[in-house]
Amino acid sequence: MQSSRPSDRQLAIVVSVAVGIIVAVITTATFWWVYDLTLGRAQRAAAQTAGARWSPSDGIKRITESQPITPTDGRQNWLGQQAWNEGVQAGQAWVQQFPNTVNVQVLVGMSSAQIWTYMQQYVSGGLGVGCQYCHNINNFASDEYPQKIAARNMLRLVRDINAQFIVNLPAWKGNYVQCATCHNNAPVNMEAVGAQFINSVPPIKVTVDPLDANGQPILDPAQKPEEIRGQVLLKDAILYYIYNYQVWKPFDPADPESGRGSLALTYEGGRTQDQVTINQNVMNYQSWSLGVGCTFCHNSRNFVAYELNPAGDNVLNPAYAYNKLKTQRMLLLTTWLAENWTKYGAIGKADVPTGKDAASPYSYRRLGDGQVYNIPGCYTCHRGNNIPLTSINQANIPAGDAGVVVLPPQIRGN
């Protein structure tokens, strides 16, 4: 009679299979843990943000649900239910007393009531602060607080961004920038980079070889800008291109070699591995910021091309040529912002802020006046969406509904 006891070989097979399953489970769990730690949580947060449309009532809700503060610079408290009520009551009284505007320099041609409607919903709501943040609510015409001067200049900034960059975008869809597009219900500490960027760019040093006005690499350290003469961290190299982009061969539909800018990798002799690494991580930054993949802008079979009329059934995204031109225009915008930020009244700081309410260190730049400023980047506005949820489209207002002021024509830029 044969024994039913398994042989040593059978036991070895069973044990091997069991060990293999255990190892596979542990390995899978480990990889998932690493992914979740570096990207997963940030991607879930981005998806949640993308699913929630912005409205001015979000900012007003933030004001009324916040705890009051005690300013030390002479301004009144601008957060909390009481501050909101006091600001609204003072604003209503001001409009009744002065139906014609007093000391209005940007929104010229609007009545006090129209300006009040816009300010309450789209400025106060967009920044998540009550009237007292900028105004002496006993005299709304007063310019005594620097924050009001900055806000006025920021209205000029909105106007100039729309005029110089937005309304002329290829295949423009009618979306404008507004206060909330950058601020997203917070007056300061705008985040220029997302968690994916912070977690996923390794702390390695690279040599930056920027291109000159003819598209040739600058290899001599003495001829490079001071901030990149030596090796710099990869994260700093990426942000250098975000805020120092230039086009050295403007796009011409008749010239397939045109449209080249600072991130070009094609020229005689090729680029260094460091420069390729920087380029790829700039693209990652843009992909994470807009929540899109490579083929949103590029023909995957010809990355350098600008094909405005792509043909064939295999084209995944016929709009990629326009999207690539849009991205180039937006890189020029971030560079323009860094060059002109002090002109538009932002209030500088002596050092990079720290603490729980500060943005990441990569969101701040030290500009020519020696002060540190919080400057928007791609992520600031887009936050994982190819069209920022906090952009605004005046076309959504029904024709003839003249009493509704969404984005005043004075700052639309057209």
Q: Lowest-confidence range among 19-33, 306-320, 323-337?
A: 306-320
Q: Lowest-confidence range among 61-65, 75-79, 170-174, 337-341?
A: 170-174
User: Rounded to the nearest 5°, which phi and psi values hold at 124?
Assistant: -60, -45
Residue with tokens 């937005």: 166
**Strongest mean pLDDT among 45-54, 96-105, 251-260, 316-325:** 96-105
Give the 3-state secondary structure of residue 299. Answer: strand
> How does residue 313 score in pLDDT terms, banded at 50, 70 and 90?
very low
CA 232 to chain CA centroid, nearest Å: 23
pLDDT at 403: 47
Residue type, 298: H
Average pLDDT, the chain: 86
pLDDT at 86: 97
pLDDT at 253: 77
- Asked if residues 290 and 385 have their Cβ atoms less than 8 Å apart, the reply is yes
In whole angstroms, give the CA distance from residue 25 to residue 3. 34
> pLDDT over 70 for what percent of the chain?
87
Q: What number is the average pLDDT over the span 153-164?
A: 96
pLDDT tens-digit series, residues 261-287: 999 887 667 789 999 999 999 999 999
pLDDT at 166: 94
Residue type, 180: A
Of residues 304 and 208, the one with the higher pLDDT is 208
Give the domain ranges of the chain: 56-184+391-411, 197-374
- Asked if residues 174 and 342 have their Cβ atoms less than 8 Å apart, the reply is no
- Dihedral sign computed on CA atoms, order 312, 317, 319, 321: negative
In whole angstroms, give the CA distance from residue 382 to residue 323. 14
> How does residue 163 score in pLDDT terms, banded at 50, 70 and 90?
very high
CA-CA-CA-CA dihedral for 369, 373, 377, 383, to nearest 10: -170
Q: What number is the average pLDDT over the span 299-319?
A: 60
In whole angstroms, give the CA distance from residue 188 to residue 183. 7
- Asked if residues 373 and 278 have their Cβ atoms less than 8 Å apart, the reply is no
DSSP letters for 242-271:
HHS--EEE---TT-TT--EETT---STT--
pLDDT at 68 over 70: yes
- Asked if residues 64 and 81 have their Cβ atoms less than 8 Å apart, the reply is yes
> How does residue 77 score in pLDDT terms, banded at 50, 70 and 90?
very high
- Say what angle helices 273-290 and 234-243 make with each other, to 10 degrees: 70
pLDDT at 49 over 80: no
pLDDT tens-digit series, residues 84-139: 999 999 999 999 999 999 999 999 999 999 999 999 999 999 999 999 999 999 99
Give the 3-state secondary structure of residue 329. Answer: helix
pLDDT tens-digit series, residues 221-252: 999 999 999 999 999 999 999 999 999 888 88
pLDDT at 149 over 60: yes
Q: What number is the average pLDDT over the span 356-380?
A: 91
- Asked if residues 118 and 408 have their Cβ atoms less than 8 Å apart, the reply is yes
Tell me how long the chain is. 414
Topology given in CATH for the domain delimited by 56-184+391-411? Photosynthetic Reaction Center, subunit C; domain 2 (1.10.468)
pLDDT at 314: 40
> How does residue 404 score in pLDDT terms, banded at 50, 70 and 90?
low
pLDDT tens-digit series, residues 3-22: 566 677 777 787 787 888 88
> How does residue 32 score in pLDDT terms, banded at 50, 70 and 90?
confident
